[in-house]
Amino acid sequence: MRVLLVLMTTLLHINASARGENSQSRAIATTFIDGLRAKDSSLEVDTIDLFDAGLPDFGTHAAAAKLLR
């Protein structure tokens, strides 16, 4: 049996939890990322926090308007 090992050079971590530092999913992701970094010290991690990124509001009215095009 052959095993193919592919190392990532960059990981995009998108944090979508409104709980911030109290988020269990964020803690799990951090543990996972720490494990990846332990295996590959050259791993770069880009993190986007959707609740701190200053993204524009996009609700149901905007979505409906987009679908009418």
Residues 29-45 pLDDT 10s: 999 999 999 988 899 99
Residue 46: pLDDT band with limits 50, 70, 90: very high
Q: How far is CA 66 from CA 50, 55, 59, in A?
A: 21, 17, 11
pTM value is 0.65
2 DSSP 8-state letter: -
Cα angle for residues 54, 44, 13 (degrees, 5° grid): 40
**pLDDT at 58 exceeding the cut of 90:** no
CA distance 31 to 35: 6
Mean pLDDT rounded to a whole number for the chain: 85
Residue 35: per-residue pLDDT: 94
All residues at 6 or more sequence positions from 19 whose CB lies less than 8 Å from its CB, including other chains? 26
Mean pLDDT of 3-28: 86
Q: Which token pair is 4?
A: 């193919």
